[in-house]
């Protein structure tokens, strides 16, 4: 019994020596609350972006903007935002201890570390504050990566937007004598009856009654709209030319992060 206690004491000792539970690393609530705080701050720019995207979709496919097909992208964003952002900030960039080897081989925290302004990239609030421009850029570019994934043709969110647009599109009212049960086969049937060159034309070149497209052309058009509407617009929404001034929140975020020990 005494022996076992000694062993377990030793193993705890060894484990904690190897992986010290440093109270100064950003962990637990520091990670979850900081990530949540960022998601809260990004709500407005994401809403702005989706508003633009919705208008672009509506004008491209002659559907009312009240169809709100971009809402499917919003839903998909909510599902992945937390995990993507936490992963991009914490294990991917801000992690590890701040201690550095001195000449005599001991480990010491450099001045300012762990908090409040630690000039070593490590997993502490002080480091996140010191490298705030990197932290900000990570949060902005992670959003761009999320939007790129959500607008890929093989993503569920892309297909949801597509279904939404097709349901709202005047094109589905095109004459169709053959019974067809799905939008997809409808598009194919229609494309077969109309010359491809016509089907490939821009929507604006056709009257509303004639806007019938084959599936591949429709998907390509939708993909282009979503790339232009979401992925390419994002840096502008955040004001990339001005150090992402609109997605910065430097004062507020630094104060928020430094509340953690």
Ligand X SMILES: *[C@@H]1O[C@H](CO)[C@@H](O)[C@H](O)[C@H]1NC(C)=O
Which residues in this chain contact ligand X in the complex, by CB under 6 A? 29, 33, 102, 104, 106, 133-134, 137, 240, 243, 259
Q: How far is the CB of 240 from ligand X (least distance, A)?
A: 5
For ligand X, the closer CB: 131 or 203: 131
Q: How far is the CB of 123 from ligand X (least distance, A)?
A: 17
Q: How far is the CB of 170 from ligand X (least distance, A)?
A: 40
Nearest to 132 by CA among 230, 237, 44, 255: 255
For ligand X, the closer CB: 34 or 54: 34
Q: How far is the CB of 142 from ligand X (least distance, A)?
A: 13
* Assigned token pair, 13: 């000792």
Q: How far is the CB of 178 from ligand X (least distance, A)?
A: 52
For ligand X, the closer CB: 74 or 137: 137
For ligand X, the closer CB: 12 or 107: 107
Nearest to 37 by CA among 81, 94, 92: 81
Give residue for tokens 């001005």. 242
For ligand X, the closer CB: 215 or 243: 243
Q: How far is the CB of 107 from ligand X (least distance, A)?
A: 10
Q: How far is the CB of 159 from ligand X (least distance, A)?
A: 31
For ligand X, the closer CB: 134 or 216: 134
For ligand X, the closer CB: 15 or 108: 108
Q: Concatenated DSSP letters for the chain?
A: -HHHHHHHHHHHHHHHHHS---TTS--THHHHHHHHHHHHHHHHHHHHHHHHHHHHHHHHHT--GGG-TTHHHHHHHHHHHHHHHHHHHTTTTS-S---EE-TTS-EEPPTTTTTT---S-SSSHHHHHHTHHHHHHHHHHHHHHHHHHHTSTTSHHHHHHHHHHHHH-GGGGS---S---SHHHHHHHHHHHS-HHHHHS-GGGS-GGG----HHHHHHHHHHHHIIIIITTHHHHTTGGGTTGGG--HHHHHHHHHT--
């Amino acid at each position: 019994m005494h022996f076992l206690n000694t062993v377990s004491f030793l193993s705890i000792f060894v484990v904690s020596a190897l992986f010290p539970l440093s109270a100064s690393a950003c962990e637990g609530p520091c990670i979850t609350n900081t990530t949540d705080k960022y998601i809260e701050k990004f709500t407005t720019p994401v809403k702005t972006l989706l508003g633009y995207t919705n208008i672009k979709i509506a004008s491209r496919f002659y559907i009312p903007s009240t169809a709100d097909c971009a809402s499917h992208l919003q839903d998909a964003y909510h599902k992945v935002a937390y995990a993507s952002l936490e992963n991009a900030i914490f294990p991917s960039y801000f992690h590890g201890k701040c201690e550095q080897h001195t000449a005599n081989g001991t480990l010491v925290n450099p001045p300012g570390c762990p908090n409040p302004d630690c000039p070593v990239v490590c997993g502490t609030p002080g480091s996140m504050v010191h490298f705030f421009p990197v932290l900000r850029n990570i949060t902005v570019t992670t959003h761009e990566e999320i939007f790129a994934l959500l607008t890929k043709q093989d993503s569920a969110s892309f297909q949801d937007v597509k279904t939404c647009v097709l349901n709202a599109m005047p094109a589905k009212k095109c004459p169709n004598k053959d019974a067809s049960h799905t939008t997809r086969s409808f598009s194919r049937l229609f494309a077969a009856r109309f010359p491809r060159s016509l089907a490939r034309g821009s929507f604006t070149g056709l009257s509303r009654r004639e806007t019938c497209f084959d599936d591949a052309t429709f998907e390509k058009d939708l993909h282009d709209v979503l790339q232009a509407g979401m992925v390419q617009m994002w840096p502008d929404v955040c004001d990339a030319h001005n150090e992402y001034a609109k997605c910065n929140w430097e004062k507020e975020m630094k104060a928020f992060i430094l509340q953690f020990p």
